[in-house]
Chain A
């Protein structure tokens, strides 16, 4: 009996001592005097910029289903504009983007297009880039819009996943084509906040440029030799 009591006593003493030790260790933590040291970083290999994947020329039968999917069936390709769509690397990320002249399908879809939180961004290519474009009037019936679908992460606009999408007002013109940014005069390129590789959208009235956040109509120098339209 005496032996059992002594054993219990010693065990209890051990537990209590441990508790005291834990407390003492936490309380009397010495200052950390060792420098934190550098983190060993992997040597980054020089990675060449990705090249744009080859993309076949789209047809209207490719484009309309894309609009249906990404703009919730609210847009129709505007066949009055020739060509109605163009592809190129408008964002300079080596992924092919799509720009389509489009109109609302009907008045019925306007609430969908003008929803509070649509899955696309509505912009005005002629709005100032310093903030005026965050107040954009709602889309009207029959309004001509440039629907832009971005490719991302090396995948083109055709990839089935969600794509960044934009509806751009005052950006549609006939003769749409993709023009390499390098061919744009420096006076225009320098208007951009960010220059990049890739293309711009050229049409008869001028150039539509991606600034990195918005599509804007470039102010192009007037060519005195060119007759006014």
Chain B
């Protein structure tokens, strides 16, 4: 009887503690902050992926990376380039390696000042857009001068410049679920609501996913994005993009030493994706961010409405989640991670154009993806066209769905405006 009382009393006291312990543990297994840094350091994905390729990738038409090539250093080297004609470079192209635009070995920002051009013709009478002959992307280099692609005035009433986007942290962005992006859009006021588009996942034919990469959200998976860039920026074909570019719509011969058939069997494409998935998220500058002005500016950033589209915080899907139409599974390194991209990765009309239609249909003609502000301080040119050279210049250009935020910024006193700029310089 007494023993039973003692046991009951002990349990009465112990039970709440145990309940707290159980719940506390559940909190510990929830999402954690993603690793950050401007260094050429793996976030852990490469090591995890290379030890578990079969578990984390399942594509019917994109190859497995050979074991002796599957590591972070090889991925960095492959991403950095340069490529040559023997690897399939050309005949028309924009760069000779990913690293030419997305500076890789000196990774700061993993971006550059390099701009590209897109062109096409918008017919306002029937609301249709036609790509420039040879595709809207203009390849600015050619091995043979006679193959040089040019913008043809007769076929063009829209020309857009496109800045290079940083790839740092893109693995985390890829691991963000479709439903998460949908929820972000749903939470936005109607006037500022972003547009989602579903785009093809090349490595899992017949499937689509919510786009999140590129100025037009034209890609959803980093393997698809890599294959696209390999052929369109470097002229190197692969199983996912087997067709060579034309110059103004005219087929041009490859350099004599180009590989026969498809230039790359697909391993390079996988290595590019491996690099991007392994990058650290861009870090903030804690000294600036934690300063009084930085903290005040951070609060003002929210108050004036910037954060409606420049979303501060997103959590990636849990490890194990199938993404990219089933072609990939979210890894432990990328899953359940909290990132601060300052972007909703959705398309908005902020009054800057760019007038080009890609995967999203005619309604996206004047919409661009919300620029991710993480790593902002490592960039010197802003907006999708790189034509703004200061934060103030960039803010002043915000119109359309961002007009309210710009107005609110302009209505701040000079001290508050300066604090917002201080905050931006911490990102």
Contacts and interface: CB of A to CB of B under 8 A. Distances in A.
Nearest to B181: A39
28 contacts: A2-B4, A5-B5, A5-B8, A9-B8, A19-B19, A19-B21, A22-B19, A30-B320, A35-B322, A35-B326, A36-B178, A36-B321, A39-B181, A93-B351, A93-B399, A116-B418, A119-B410, A120-B396, A131-B381, A152-B351, A152-B403, A153-B400, A164-B399, A190-B159, A193-B117, A194-B353, A196-B355, A212-B387
A58 to B, nearest CB: 21
Contact of A131 (B29, B330, B389): B389
Size range of the interface on B? 35 or more
A37 B393 CA distance: 40
A213 interface: yes
A12 B179 contact: no
Contact of B15 (A2, A15, A23, A44): A15
Contacts of B403: 152-153
Given A46-B362, A129-B387, A212-B387, A190 B153 contact: yes
Nearest to B352: A212
Interface of A: 2, 5-6, 8-9, 11-13, 15-16, 18-23, 26-27, 29-39, 41, 44-49, 91, 93, 115-117, 119-121, 129, 131, 133-134, 150, 152-153, 161-162, 164, 186, 189-190, 192-197, 211-214
User: 4 closest A-B pairs (Cβ-Cβ)?
Assistant: A31-B320, A12-B11, A213-B387, A19-B22
A16 B18 contact: yes
B19 A18 contact: yes
A214 B22 contact: no
Interface string B97-121: 0000000000000000000010000
Interface string B141-163: 00000000001010011111100
Interface string B237-257: 000000000000000000000
Given A12-B8, A38-B210, A41-B196, A121 B387 contact: no
B156 A162 contact: no
Contacts of B22: 18-23, 26
Given A117-B414, A164-B399, A134 B15 contact: no
A195 B158 contact: yes
B385 A194 contact: yes
A46 B363 contact: yes
B354 interface: yes
A33 B20 CA distance: 30
A186 B153 contact: yes
Nearest to B381: A131
* Secondary structure dominating the interface of B: mixed
Given A32-B318, A41-B198, A193-B385, A121 B396 contact: yes
A32 B323 CA distance: 11
A147 B55 CA distance: 61
A23 B322 contact: no
A153 B406 CA distance: 13
Contacts, number: 199
Contact of B159 (A37, A150, A161, A193): A193
* Highest count of chain B CB atoms <10 Å: which of A23, A39, A152: A39
Contacts of A133: 389
A38 B354 CA distance: 27
* Highest count of chain B CB atoms <10 Å: which of A18, A91, A116, A195: A195
A35 B325 contact: yes
A12 B15 contact: yes
Interface in B359-383: 361-363, 381, 383
Nearest to B8: A9
Given A23-B26, A194-B158, A5 B393 contact: no
A71 to B, nearest CB: 12
Nearest to B380: A131
Interface string B182-196: 100000000000011
Nearest to B383: A213
B208 A38 contact: yes
A49 B178 contact: no
A16 B161 CA distance: 63
Contacts of A131: 381, 389
Nearest to B210: A39
Given A39-B181, A196-B158, A121 B393 contact: yes
Contact of A213 (B159, B195, B355, B397): B397
Contact of B7 (A9, A23, A164): A9
Contact of A49 (B4, B20, B124, B153): B124
B383 A22 contact: no
B209 interface: yes
Nearest to B6: A5
B356 to A, nearest CB: 10
B25 interface: yes
B29 A26 contact: yes
* Highest count of chain A CB atoms <10 Å: which of B325, B397, B406: B397
